[in-house]
């Protein structure tokens, strides 16, 4: 059985990237070029020109090249900066991504606040773990009613990482995040499928439902997600 602390960290790392751009409408519109290959390769949720591309479907080399070209042509466009930073995180170029994200996050932009905050929870980011900083950035994003931040913030309240442990705060946040994760899961995002399965298994923001949990674990497992494979075996043996 996974510990609460492991779940609090692992779920955040799985899901944060997939939902970061729900609030792209908040971004600066001073420079807003039309649809670009960078959008096709690495668009965030809420991108005004293209539907979100889940992490698992991003072709990293192609996305990196497209977003670098986009910023050469439109260096002031924040949506391209965010999309490039997203790809950089996926490719492990964390330090450069962190500098970009912090600058954008400090402008008050929720998608960058969420992604930047998530870097403080990863042992592999090269940034010292700091749940207090993660919670602070998630709260800034959530205060802007940025729904993608609700699930990660709920996990912190559930585990007491960086904030006081309060399930009475976590549950309403999960409830508001549930439709968001369900929509991503239905689009094939494996991280959201796995997280949705855990929400159903553990009754996070929804009534516990073993059958629904098993269904979503199976969908994630079919994409090769090993923790979902293990969860299918565990539930099937019960």
Establish how many alpha carbons lie within 13 A of residue 7's alpha carbon, considering only the half-sphere containing its beta carbon: 20
Looking at per-residue confidence, does 123 or 219 come out higher?
219
Q: What are the structure tokens assigned to 28, written together?
A: 């600066």
Q: Rounded CA gap, 164 and 173, in Å?
A: 15
Mean pLDDT over 110-125 rounds to: 87
Q: Which domains does the chain have, with CATH numbers?
A: 4-237 (1.25.40)
Looking at per-residue confidence, does 49 or 62 come out higher?
62
- State yes or no: pLDDT of 100 exceeds 80: yes
* Residue pLDDT, tens place only, 153-163: 999 999 999 99
The region that residue 145 occupies, defined by phi over 0 for left and psi between -120 and 50 for alpha, beta otherwise, is left
* Residue pLDDT, tens place only, 185-194: 998 889 999 9
Mean pLDDT over 103-129 rounds to: 88
pLDDT of residue 113: 93
pLDDT of residue 122: 81
DSSP string, 108-136: T-HHHHHHHHHGGG-TTSSS---HHHHHH
Reported as a pLDDT band with limits 50, 70 and 90, residue 17 is low
For residues 76 and 83, is the Cβ–Cβ distance under 8 A? Answer: no
- State yes or no: pLDDT of 29 exceeds 60: no
Reported as a pLDDT band with limits 50, 70 and 90, residue 208 is very high
pTM of the predicted structure, to 2 decimals: 0.82
Sign (positive or negative) of CA dihedral 78, 27, 112, 8: negative
Alpha carbon of residue 146 to chain centroid: 12
Mean pLDDT over 55-80 rounds to: 93
pLDDT of residue 193: 94
- State yes or no: pLDDT of 26 exceeds 50: no
Task: Name the average pLDDT for the chain.
Answer: 87
Reported as a pLDDT band with limits 50, 70 and 90, residue 21 is very low
Lowest-confidence segment of 4-8, 97-101, 176-180 by average pLDDT: 4-8
């Amino acid at each position: 059985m996974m510990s609460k602390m492991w779940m609090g960290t692992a779920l955040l790392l799985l899901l944060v990237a997939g939902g970061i751009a729900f609030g792209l409408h908040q971004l600066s519109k001073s420079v807003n070029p039309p649809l670009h290959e960078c959008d096709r390769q690495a668009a965030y949720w809420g991108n005004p020109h293209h539907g979100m591309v889940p992490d698992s479907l991003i072709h990293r080399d192609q996305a990196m090249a497209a977003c670098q070209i986009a910023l050469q042509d439109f260096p002031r466009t924040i949506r391209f900066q965010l999309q490039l930073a997203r790809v950089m995180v996926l490719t492990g170029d964390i330090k450069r991504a962190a500098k970009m994200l912090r600058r954008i996050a400090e402008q008050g932009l929720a998608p960058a606040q969420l992604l930047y905050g998530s870097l403080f929870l990863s042992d592999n980011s090269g940034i010292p773990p700091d749940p207090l900083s993660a919670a602070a950035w998630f709260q800034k994003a959530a205060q802007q009613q940025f729904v993608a931040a609700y699930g990660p913030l709920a996990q912190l309240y559930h585990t007491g990482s960086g904030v006081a442990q309060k399930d009475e705060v976590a549950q309403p946040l999960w409830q508001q995040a549930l439709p968001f994760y369900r929509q991503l899961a239905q689009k094939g995002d494996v991280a959201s499928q796995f997280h949705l399965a855990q929400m159903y298994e553990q009754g996070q923001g929804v009534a516990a439902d073993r059958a629904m949990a098993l269904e979503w674990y199976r969908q994630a497992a079919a994409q090769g997600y090993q923790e979902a494979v293990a969860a299918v075996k565990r539930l099937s043996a019960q």
